[in-house]
Structure 1
Amino acid sequence: MSTLRERNAERLRNSIAGAPIDSHAVFNFYTYPFFHKHSNVPLNEYFHNPAVMLEAQLEVLDKIDNCGNLMPDVGAVAECSGLGGKVRFDSHGFISVHEAEIEEYEDVIKIKPADPYGDNYMRIALEQLEYMVQHCPKGMKVNAHPIMGPFTVAAQLRGISDFCADTIAEPEMVDALLDVVIQTQIAFLHAQEKILGAPLHHVLVCDDLSAFLNPQMYEELILPLYDRLFADFPNTQRWLHNDSTTRHIVSQIPKGGFSAWQYGPVLQPLEAAEGCGNQVTVMGGLNPVELAGYTVEQTIDVCNQVIDSFQGNPRCVLSAAGSINQVPLENIRAMMRVADERKISK
């Protein structure tokens, strides 16, 4: 008899392939604040000791029927840390990156593509990945470390407001910075491929900041970046995490070559699915902030309502985008149970 993990994984695969499904899958994006909250692991050890990271992830995933994969996890700093971004930790140990010293075009052309094996958090992520692959328990899988969207990385390095203004006032500087970012990211993906094997099954691209652009600029600037990023990885699925305000670019998402998209609660499920022409598996429907405050009974009711709103569309996956970190484990288990038990009428 199959496990919940196996059934959920098969449903997600079939949804992405456009094949029939008997029930809707569940997908959540679990990262360090989630594992920290539910395991009490000290974050300094989590980030810098692969054995601690592995044990923390295994401990928490076990509590949600292992419906999730292992993943190296240095937050959003990997690429930036090699390109002059300053990595910092707040009083809780949460990791972030602050902008590099970039004021003009001449500063950008001094930046060289970063070495993923250098003194930066790409190397730390690769060490985590290698350890996880070597010690992964039977029945579990290890995903590649997510990639930040090239626009998001460049905006972090330059400063978000300044970089958005640069797209109008300093396009040459924007192009130069994006060029060095993409070269770095391609090298980072190739390094992960050496550990996981080629082709990488999928890469999750986290690119909330690109939604700041209007539809025309998104099409002209962002979509070519995705094609360039994945040119060396034609057999790797592109998954997108963009839970920003995206209603104005929904129709552009399929043009980015994405197989799956985790969207934010600003969109209704069928609005996301049909806006993508039912070409992309859309993962969402639940507001994570609200979900964090629900009882189990309320979670069950809301999950049923969201699944009703799917209207049997096989491209819809139940998900809470954004800050899943404070959601109680019993509510996540309830999500899994409802989705598993609700069958799609033939």
Structure 2
Amino acid sequence: MTPAQWNTFKRAARGEKLDAIPMALIIDSPWIPGYLGINHMDFYLNPELWFESHLKIHREFPDIMFVPPWWMEYGMAAEPSVLGAKIQFFPGNTPSDQHMLARIEDIDNLPAYDVEHDSFMAMTLHRMRMHRQRILDAGHTLPLAVTRGPVCTASFVRGVTELMMDLVENPDYAHKLLDLCTRMTIDWLKAQVSALGPTVEGFLLLDDIVGFVNEEHYMEFCHPYLKRICDAFPKDWIKIYHNDASIEKCLEHLPDVGFHVLNWGKHTDIADVKRRVGNRLCLMGNVNPLEIMAKGAPEQVRAATLDVLEKSRGENIILSVGGGTSPGTPRENILAMQAALAEYNA
């Protein structure tokens, strides 16, 4: 993402009327290695290959804003690893974590975390410092810190089913775990800001597990913690929320959290989202990422893209897929999405 593209993204996020609707995609290790035909382990552990991979994609699609740009990540390893979860890596796939809180009460015995020096957070921060100036010298900017959200991280270390049961059967300890994950999330974002420097003006928070609860549980176990994270950073920062599970129970509440941009999944039609939140959020979406973008034909991509754009009425939208860019998404479908956007903008 160039500084000019970031300026466009900021304006769109704040609800300004633009001359043309922009396009943004979330890309990371589920898509990049397969698209470029490289090994996941090499992508994570070879700094030169990682840099050249991102540079190649930025040059191949210069008119797309990648959010976040130059994402330095080890799949979903950083957040659970700093709390002690075991991480497994594979040559042909993203890493996985193993739950480490067999009893939620074991949270009382966890050692203190250190985001600067523990596990994959330490490695990620080192890579940020290693590559930062080189990225800036290439004409790009690094405007966003990135984190998994507190409910998502809690599910990594506890297990999704177990966490959902805790909300009902052991709510005090569920709050204790979520408080820990929230504090760690804020510290993790601040550490990234320090590593990336003064170009940072916002963050992307990804938390799909929020979509697994009802509205009552959202208001008790999700909303306060998400708001604490947003409130910990400057009010004028751009705060992006990703949830491609379900947004049905939390949608109307998300603007009150402090988010500016919502990237959501394929399950809720953009017309319904727009009806429910009006112009309180900029909508980043939501062409079907799997059945259409990854598996469909270009003509299907064109039709789906135009459908999203027409239902948006061209207001408060950044065109994207409904979530991250799925593994296997081909070049021709990305180009078809761009072409449909150009057609609509014209």
Please say if residues 284 and 318 of structure 1, whose CA atoms lie closer than 8 Å, have aligned partners that are also in contact.
Answer: yes
Provide, for residues 22-73 of structure 1, a one-character-per-residue CA deviation record: whole Å limited to 9, x for no partner.
Answer: 2222121101121101222221121123322111111122222262221212
Picking from 309, 312, 325, the partner of 2:311 is 309
Cα offset, 1:317, TM superposition: 2.2
Aligned in 2, Cα 1:64/1:23: closer, same or farther, shift over 3 Å?
same
User: Distance in 2 between the 1:94 and 1:285 partners?
Assistant: 24
Please say if residues 263 and 286 of structure 2, whose CA atoms lie closer than 8 Å, have aligned partners that are also in contact.
Answer: no
- Whether 2:53 is the aligned partner of 1:28: answer no
User: Distance in 2 between the 1:338 and 1:153 partners?
Assistant: 37
Please say if residues 231 and 258 of structure 2, whose CA atoms lie closer than 8 Å, have aligned partners that are also in contact.
Answer: no
Residue equivalent to 1:176: 176
Paired residues, number: 339
User: Distance in 2 between the 1:193 and 1:13 partners?
Assistant: 18
Paired residue secondary structure (1:194)? helix
Please say if residues 31 and 326 of structure 2, whose CA atoms lie closer than 8 Å, have aligned partners that are also in contact.
Answer: yes
Paired residue secondary structure (1:146)? strand
Provide, for residues 109-164 of structure 1, a one-character-per-residue CA deviation record: whole Å limited to 9, x for no partner.
Answer: 11234212224111111122122212114321225452111011011101110111
Residue equivalent to 2:59: 62
Q: Which amino acid aligns with 2:269?
A: Q
- Whether 2:329 is the aligned partner of 1:327: answer yes
Provide, for residues 184-215 of structure 1, a one-character-per-residue CA deviation record: whole Å limited to 9, x for no partner.
Answer: 22221221111222583121111100111111
| 47-56 vs 79-88, greater mean Cα deviation | 47-56
Paired residue secondary structure (1:240)? strand
Residue equivalent to 2:213: 213
- Whether 2:12 is the aligned partner of 1:15: answer yes
User: Distance in 2 between the 1:54 and 1:143 partners?
Assistant: 17
Q: Percent identity?
A: 23
User: Distance in 1 between the 2:224 and 2:231 partners?
Assistant: 10
Cα offset, 1:179, TM superposition: 2.1
Residue equivalent to 1:129: 128
Aligned in 2, Cα 1:230/1:251: closer, same or farther, shift over 3 Å?
closer
Q: Which amino acid aligns with 1:339?
A: L
TM-score, L = length of structure 2: 0.90
Provide, for residues 83-130 of structure 1, a one-character-per-residue CA deviation record: whole Å limited to 9, x for no partner.
Answer: 01110124624212111133141x111123421222411111112212
Picking from 29, 32, 40, the partner of 1:43 is 40
Residue equivalent to 1:76: 76
Paired residue secondary structure (2:164)? helix
User: Distance in 1 between the 2:256 and 2:199 partners?
Assistant: 22
Cα offset, 1:8, TM superposition: 5.8
Matches within 5 A, 1:188-337: 188-198=188-198, 200-235=200-235, 236-289=237-290, 290-312=292-314, 314-322=315-323, 323-337=325-339
| 35-44 vs 205-214, greater mean Cα deviation | 35-44
Paired residue secondary structure (2:110)? coil
Aligned in 2, Cα 1:231/1:245: closer, same or farther, shift over 3 Å?
closer
Cα offset, 1:265, TM superposition: 1.0
Aligned in 2, Cα 1:192/1:6: closer, same or farther, shift over 3 Å?
closer
Superposition RMSD on alpha carbons, in Å?
2.2
Q: Please, which runs of 5 or more residues in structure 1 have no aligned partner?
A: none
